[in-house]
Amino acid sequence: MKRTRIFLANIAASLFVLLPIAAEARPDVRKLSCAKAQAMVRQNGAVVFTTGPHTYSRFVSNYRYCDSWERLFTQYAKTKDNPKCPVAYECKEPLFNDRWNRFR
């Protein structure tokens, strides 16, 4: 019985230590400077930022973070010091499949 209580106390203590880390898992791009947001993406390769009260978006540094059929498009976000900061890129499917349009 005593071992069970000690075990449960250790788990509870671990959860209290880990909760602040989980709360900051997705940085808010609106609270960062433009340069800081760009640096985070360059350093990590891909970052999911909170972009609004109920929205988030994935920003990537290069095409290696996209699927083979996706293309890179510049992705802008509102940062602390710039209302339209070119943070990085986003992976999106092109409107038209380039391979098939060549033959039409």
Residue range 11-21, pLDDT digits in tens: 655 555 544 44
pLDDT for 104 beyond 50: no
Residue range 37-54, pLDDT digits in tens: 999 999 999 999 999 999
Domain map of the chain by residue range? Answer: 26-101
Residue 58 and residue 90 in contact, taking contact as beta carbons nearer than 8 Å: yes
Cβ neighbours, 10 Å, residue 85 = 20
Residue 103 Cα to chain centre, angstroms: 37
pLDDT for 88 beyond 80: yes
